[in-house]
Structure 1
Amino acid sequence: MNISVVIPLLNEQESLTELHDWIVNVMQSNRFSYEIIFIDDGSTDDSWETISKLSEQNDNVRGIRFLKNFGKSQALHAGFDKAKGQVVITMDADLQDSPDEIPELYNMVTNDGFDLVSGWKKKRYDSVISKNMPSKLFNWAARKTSGVKLNDFNCGLKAYKIDVVKNIDVNGEMHRYIPVLSKNAGFTKIGEKVVQHQARKYGVTKFGMNRFIHGFLDLITIWFLSRFGKRPMHLFGALGFIMFAIGFAFSAYLGIDKLFLNPGGRLITQRPQFYIALATMVIGTQFFVAGFLGEIVLRNKSDKKRYLIKEKLNLN
C-alpha cells in the first residue's frame, strides 16, 4: 500500500464527506493504493455516523471511535498504530489542509529520501492577533529550543515514512512536536514544504489561545525529556550537588569563624548565613531524592492504555 491518510477529528461531520471525496479523487488520479483512517476523538455530533456510511461505500475507509475526547495526540497515536501504508499522511478534518498536496509530499518522502516532511502554511487565513502572532512566537521558541529548523510546527499536514510513526510515542499533547520526537528517535532528515492554507468552510475552530500556553509548557517538557528523560539524575544530581556545596561552604565558614576567628561572637543560630546553609543543604538533598525517584520510576514504568476505543471499522 502506498499511502495511509490519518485524520483525527472532533465534531467535523459537515466536512467529512467532502474531504473523503477530495482525497479519493487525488488518490485515483495518481493511481495510489491507499487507506483513509478517521479517528473520531469523542465527537458529539454525527461524525461517526458519516464515517460509518463512508466505510460502507469505500472499503479503503477505516474508522476508530474513542469512548470520549482524549486529545489529538492520542488520536494520532491510534491512527499510527493501525497505519499500513509506505507513507503516512496526517491532515486535519476541517478542509483547511488541501489533499492536493499529497502527491508532492509522497514524492518528497519516497524519492527525495526525507523521513518526515512538514507543511508550512506560509499564507494563512487566520486572525493575525489570535493565531498568527502567537504562532510565530511559538514556532520561534520551538526552533531555538529543539534545533529543528521548521517554520510551522503546528501544521497538521505532514508526511512520514512508516518507520517513523511506528517508532515514536505521541502522548499527552506532544502532537505539536512530532518532528522533535522524530529527531530524538534518530530520524533526522526532516524537510518542509509550503502548502496551501484554506479558510475554514464549516463549523468553528476547536483551539483557543490556551493551546499556545499549553504548547510552551509542552516545549519545556520535551526539552527536559530529550535532554534528561533517560537520565534524570544527571540534572537533579547536578542541581543537588550545587545547592549542597553552597550550603556546606556557608557551614564551613560559620564553623571556622566561630572556632578560630571570632569565638566570642554571636551564636551560629543567630547569624543569617546559618539559615542560608540550612536551606540550601535541605534543597540539595531534595534534588538528590528527586533524581533517585526519577531513576526508580524510569526503570519500573509499565505501558498502559491512554485511551479507550468504543468501535472500529474495517480494522483488525
Structure 2
Amino acid sequence: MTDPLDVITQSFREPGLVPGYEISSILGSGGQGIVFKAKKTAIGRTYAIKFLRPPDHVNPTTWRNSELGNLAALADMRHPNLVAIEDRGETKSIPYLVLEYAGDQSLKTLMTQRRLGLKDGLRWLRQTADAVQYLHDHGVLHLDVKPSNIYVLDGRAKLGDFGLVRLQSHSGAVDLSLAFGTPEYVAPEVVSLHRASPVSDVFGLGRTLDDLLIAAAVTDDRQPASWLMELATESTAMEPTQRPSLIAFRKRLAAPGGIRKVAFRSLRPEPRSSGAKGSPRFRSLRG
C-alpha cells in the first residue's frame, strides 16, 4: 500500500515545499506522521517540521479539515514545558506543524541509556503534568503522552509531538473514530469506547511514571539481581498494577507513598470519570 506521505519524502528538499524553510533531513517517522529537520531561512534557526499521516479508509478532505482545525487550536499555545509551536500550514494536501527543535534527548532516550535518575525523572514528569494541565485548561487533549514525546532541553521537560491533539467537546470528552496513540500508553476507555477525556492523558502520565520507576530500578545497582530477572521475564502486556516485580520495587523504593498512590490511581483499568482533572496530582511527586 502506498504511503500518503511518499509525496513529502520524495520531495522534501524541493524549494518552497514549506514557505520560508529549508528542509535538510528526516528526524524520525511513526504511525502519525514524519518529522524533518529544517532551517528558517530568514534567521537561520533550526526547527522541526511534522507532516501528519492521513489514516486509511477516511475521507481525505474531512480528515484534512479536521486536522487543520486541531492545529489552529495549538497556534497560540505557550507554556515553558511545551515544545513551542512556530507555524502551521498545508502543502500537497498534507497538514504540517513547525515546532521548536528540541533535540534528540527524550525521557525514553535517557531510560534506554540508563541515565535517568528518579529525582530528575520525577521533576520532569511534574513539569510534563503542568503542560498537560495547561492544554486541558485550553480545551485540548494531547492523547500521546509517553516518554519518547517528552524531551529534555536545557534541564527542562518539554512535551511535544502534537499529531494526535483533539479539541474537547462541551462535555469534556471527544470521539476518536480515526486513530489513537501507542497501545501501551492508551487509556482503556479509548481502546474500548473510542472516547477520550482529560483523564485519558493522565493514563499516559501514569504509564510514563511506571516506566520511570522501572528505569530507576535498572539504573540503581543496589536493586537485587533477582528482581531484575523477574522484571525481564514478565509479560509486558500485563497490567502494571498486577506485575508483582513492580509492586515489589514500589515497596522497596525509598520514596514517599504518594508515588505509589499516583501510579496505581492513574493506571486503573476501569474507565474513569470523563470530567476528572488528574494532572495536578502529579505535582506532588518527589524523589
Q: Same fold (TM over 0.5)?
A: no
State the TM-score, normalizing by the size of structure 1. Answer: 0.28
Q: Which of 1 and 2 has greater Rg? A: 1
Q: Which has the higher helix share?
A: 1
Structure having greater relative contact order (Cα 8 Å, sep ≥ 6): 1
Q: Which structure has more strand as a fraction of its residues? A: 2
